[in-house]
Amino acid sequence: MGDLPLLVFVNAGGADDGDQAVRQRLTDAGLRPFPAEVEDLLQPASAWSAVARAGAVAVTCNGTEFYRPRPGLVPEAWTQMVVATGRVVLVWLPGASPPDDEEVLALLRRGAGLWGTAALSES
């Protein structure tokens, strides 16, 4: 997993409808439970895309901006990895705070979250 640029996110705002509703919305947008084969993960979800502009990568879902990092928040190496691989691997985990890096894969394997790929577009 270290060779893929991950974007791990949680329900940090504590949406009123909770993790189950967030999970349903993300599933509707094409994210899926942990697949048996990593190759399944690398197939881009059609609703998601990423674009690199001015040294930053923004992720959109169905044409609406989903994530744009504040300047200086994301290491340049991550942005370079997105450009080199042509994708961002999206990982959603339930809860209000992100887990430690080592916990992400273990949580996914237990079925705790969803993931999918946003392909990097040329624009």
What's the confidence (pLDDT) of residue 107? 87
Determine the Cα–Cα distance for residues 42 and 15; give it in Å rounded to an integer: 29
Structure tokens at 46: 């059609």
Structure tokens at 73: 């928040």
Report which DSSP code applies to 44: E
pTM greater than 0.85: no
Nearest Cα residue to 93 out of 40, 33, 50, 16:
33
pLDDT tens, residue order, the chain (123 aa): 457 888 988 876 655 568 888 889 999 999 988 876 777 777 899 999 999 888 889 999 999 999 988 878 888 889 999 999 999 999 999 888 888 878 888 888 888 889 899 999 976
Determine the Cα–Cα distance for residues 42 and 70; give it in Å rounded to an integer: 26
Determine the Cα–Cα distance for residues 109 and 55; give it in Å rounded to an integer: 33
